[in-house]
């Protein structure tokens, strides 16, 4: 098993890419700490992972916009499992609208969840990983954190922030054995798209399983190599 005894924290674990990655990581032997705001969904996933994969899985409800809750998530991980090997930041929200229609509250929420949430989790995990002299942080700016499109102003602002944060963090942490990977996915067919009014072809998107496979690839890098970034888009819709 590729992640035997590795300890992984996943934010945004209740749905979408985070949940599917949790399933795959558990199948590969990881011990998991599952975070999002919805306790019932985390509890159901933790039970599924324990029942089907005999995995150690801890549900930890947490709002990533609150620094103290994210600190408590990382502290609880260390207290329970003694270390943290992998952080997958999969919590995120998106509003894809022209700037004239994008509400101030929607912009603020994207900055708070996508950028500040990723900063809090990355910072607190990096502190523990730097002490261990090993660890892997996987962030998901998506393709809209590398290229823009119509209606992506606020979302791209938050995701370019994640890209900049991650690239600079890499410079800070490269001598401490901590690796940062950026996943630039094109559209992935998840609940992310349920509330988005822009017309999209969900059947042509990446599947959530394909996205989770890339998260796994990022989590199992050989010790002397670094997977800095990965771009994967549907062939029919490349930016
Ligand atoms: N789907 C795509 O096409 C796509 C493409 C590229 C990049 N991405 C990025 O990939 C990541 C995962 O997206 P997805 O498609 O899996 O989205 P999703 O299905 O909508 O799931 C989003 C997850 O984020 C959690 N979340 C939202 N706000 C949160 C908060 N304040 N605190 C903690 N957790 C919060 C949600 O859980 P709760 O509601 O329970 O808190 C949920 O588990 C996001 O960062 C997204 O921007 C997605």
Question: Residue 231: its pLDDT value, please?
Answer: 98
The enclosing H or E element of 153 equals helix 153-173
- Predicted confidence at residue 67, as pLDDT, reads 99
pTM of structure: 0.99
| Of 88, 123, 81, 32, the residue nearest 212 (C-alpha) | 88
- The string of pLDDT tens digits covering residues 100-153 is 999 999 999 999 999 999 999 999 999 999 999 999 999 999 999 999 999 999
For ligand 1, atom 23, the nearest C-alpha belongs to 12
- CA-proximal residue: ligand 1, atom 16 (nearest): 16
Instruction: Name residues contacting ligand 1 (CB within 6 A).
Output: 11-12, 14-18, 36-38, 41, 63-65, 90-94, 113-114, 140, 142, 185, 187-188, 190-192
What is 7-232's CATH superfamily?
NAD(P)-binding Rossmann-like Domain (3.40.50.720)
155 assigned to active site:
yes
Mutation choice for ligand 1 from 108, 192, 211, 214, CB with most ligand atoms inside 8 A: 192
What pLDDT, on the 0 to 100 scale, is given for residue 96?
A: 98
Report yes or no: 220 and 3 within 8 Å, Cβ to Cβ: yes
What pLDDT, on a 0 to 100 scale, did the predictor assign at position 36?
A: 98
| Alpha-carbon distances, residue 161 vs 38, 90, 208, 213 (angstroms) | 26, 15, 24, 25
Out of 91, 155, 201, 238, mutate this one to test ligand 1's pocket (max ligand atoms within 8 Å of CB): namely: 91
Closest residue to atom 41 of ligand 1, CA basis: 37
Residue segments in the chain with a per-residue pLDDT below the cut of 70: none
Mutate to test the pocket of ligand 1, among 11, 33, 36 (most ligand atoms within 8 A of CB): 36
**pLDDT value of residue 105:** 98
Ligand 1 centroid distance, CA of 63 (Å): 12
> What pLDDT is recorded for position 146?
98
Q: Which numbered atom of ligand 1 lies nearest the CA of 65?
A: 31
Alpha carbon of residue 63 to chain centroid:
14
Q: Residue 182 in contact with residue 164, Cβ under 8 Å?
A: no
Alpha-carbon distance of 80 to 122, in angstroms, equals 19
DSSP state string for 77-106: HHHHHS---EEEE---------TTT--HHH
Distance CA 56, CA 49 (A): 8
Distance in Å, CA 222 to ligand 1 centroid = 28
Strands (E), 50-151: 57-61, 86-89, 135-139
Q: What is the pLDDT of residue 41?
A: 98
Whole-number Å distance between alpha carbons of 7 and 93: 25
Residue 172 contacts residue 119 (beta carbons within 8 Å): no
Six-digit token pair at 63? Answer: 């709002």
Q: Which of 95, 120, 155, 160 is catalytic?
A: 155
């Amino acid at each position: 098993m590729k992640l035997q005894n590795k300890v992984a924290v996943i934010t945004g674990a209740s749905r979408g890419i985070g949940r599917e990655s949790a399933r795959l990581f558990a199948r590969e032997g990881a011990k998991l700490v599952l975070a999002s705001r919805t306790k019932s969904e985390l509890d159901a996933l933790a039970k599924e992972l324990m029942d089907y994969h005999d995995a150690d899985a801890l549900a930890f409800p947490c709002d990533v916009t609150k620094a103290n809750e994210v600190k408590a998530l990382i502290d609880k991980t260390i207290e329970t499992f003694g270390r943290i090997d992998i952080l997958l930041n999969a919590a995120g929200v998106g509003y894809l609208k022209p700037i004239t229609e994008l509400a101030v509250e929607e912009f603020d929420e994207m900055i708070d969840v996508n950028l500040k949430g990723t900063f809090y989790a990355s910072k607190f995990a990096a502190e523990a990983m730097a002490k261990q002299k090993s660890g892997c942080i996987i962030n998901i700016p998506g393709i809209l954190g590398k290229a823009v499109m119509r209606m992506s102003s606020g979302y791209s602002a938050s995701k370019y922030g994640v890209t900049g944060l991650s690239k600079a963090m890499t410079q800070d942490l490269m001598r401490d054995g901590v690796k940062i990977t950026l996943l630039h996915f094109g559209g992935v067919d998840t609940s992310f798209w349920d509330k988005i009014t822009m017309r999209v072809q969900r059947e042509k998107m990446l599947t959530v399983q394909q996205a989770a496979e890339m998260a796994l690839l990022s989590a199992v890098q050989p010790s002397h190599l670094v997977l800095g970034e990965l771009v994967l888009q549907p062939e029919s819709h490349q930016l």
